[in-house]
Structure 1
């Protein structure tokens, strides 16, 4: 999944992953406001964020520092303007996920031939945590053979294999 892909709504992604980001409520609101202002290509000012949140500018500065400490926010001066980059929010999430999970998402997107929704991505990551990623890929391939490319079907395949007590090696070798 590419944070800068046009189909990815950062605000929805942030809201969907709040519990994993370990942000204070005001920090989350600041991230959402920064993303909104970036989408609208509007300059970001401490005073405006303070007014929106009903806090003073010192607290906004403190929130910026806290988000920077968590590596969620990077503020840079480029081409005469201040840039607020929150790509670190997504990068931190990737650091928490094993690299296999990223390849799982890529495998599903390639097989489904479309971008996945954030809900689908989360569900795939959960399957990767619950089952061995190789087993999930085998179930994806099995579903593709029968032209049943949907997560419910894939999850039923995995449940069936689990009930039969099949290992990844057995599934990969064709034992069903």
Structure 2
């Protein structure tokens, strides 16, 4: 094994969250502070919880005082803290703690997801407004807009279910929201809350109707087979053998 490979294995590896790498600037961390974090993280991964500021300064090309100032700023931004641990029979030991940084990252992700959902809901609302106006061939009144908003916000109907109710109304050439509301209430009573459930129920109903047609005809033929065989002849004529 050559010297490089030996040094590579001996130095170990530093693990890094890709999520943090992508969003550290949104958390208020500068490039310099992130580089300092990486240096501290590399020592933590090797079991050194509190590397000296002189060591970090040499690694990143800053002075010891600059490292101290950056660490102080990171503490002020609640990106890190320094914990002091007192073990029985041992001297107190300091360690860099970045749990606050990951708490901020978790809050950022949650907020981003909430904003995405809010944006999607707004887009879905606008889309369903436009689709109903297009199918009805007229602008919706403020009362109608309020009714649709109630379907979304209070009744919590899925947009896909509202679209299916709209399709049902258009097929029956009934262009008003009260008809759609009755359709939605009927599905709700049947516990059909997703487009897939509504579609499945519709397919099952059509299947029953299709299969009921021939069966109904067969039942009619069976009834006729049980009727008595009455000969047909005119009054005054003798029945033929």
Asked if the contact 1:50–1:57 (Cα under 8 Å) also holds between the matched residues in 2, the reply is: yes
State the secondary structure of the residue aligned to 2:96.
strand
State the secondary structure of the residue aligned to 1:20.
coil
1:131 aligns with 2:120: yes
TM-score (norm 1): 0.54
1:90 aligns with 2:102: yes
Whole-angstrom CA distance in 1 between matches of 2:119 and 2:16? 26
Deviation at 1:60, TM superposition (A): 0.5
Question: How many residues get paired?
Answer: 120
Could you say which residue in structure 2 is the equivalent of 1:75? 82
1:170 aligns with 2:157: yes
Change over 3 Å in CA distance of 1:66–1:48 after alignment to 2: same
Could you say which residue in structure 1 is the equivalent of 2:214? none
In structure 2, which of residues 23, 26, 30 is the aligned counterpart of residue 17 of structure 1?
23
Could you say which residue in structure 2 is the equivalent of 1:108? none
Whole-angstrom CA distance in 1 between matches of 2:118 and 2:18? 22
CA RMSD of aligned residues (A): 3.2
The ranges of structure 1 where at least 4 consecutive aligned residues each deviate by more than 6 angstroms after the TM superposition are 159-162
Could you say which residue in structure 2 is the equivalent of 1:38? 44
1:29 aligns with 2:41: no
Whole-angstrom CA distance in 1 between matches of 2:65 and 2:53? 9
Could you say which residue in structure 2 is the equivalent of 1:52? 59
Whole-angstrom CA distance in 2 between matches of 1:13 and 1:36? 18
TM-score (norm 2): 0.41
Larger radius of gyration: 2
Whole-angstrom CA distance in 2 between matches of 1:88 and 1:61? 19
Whole-angstrom CA distance in 2 between matches of 1:49 and 1:62? 13
Asked if the contact 1:11–1:35 (Cα under 8 Å) also holds between the matched residues in 2, the reply is: no
Change over 3 Å in CA distance of 1:39–1:129 after alignment to 2: farther
User: Which stretches in structure 1 are left out of the alignment for 5+ residues?
Assistant: 1-8, 103-121, 133-158
Change over 3 Å in CA distance of 1:96–1:81 after alignment to 2: same
Whole-angstrom CA distance in 2 between matches of 1:46 and 1:34? 10
Change over 3 Å in CA distance of 1:46–1:32 after alignment to 2: same
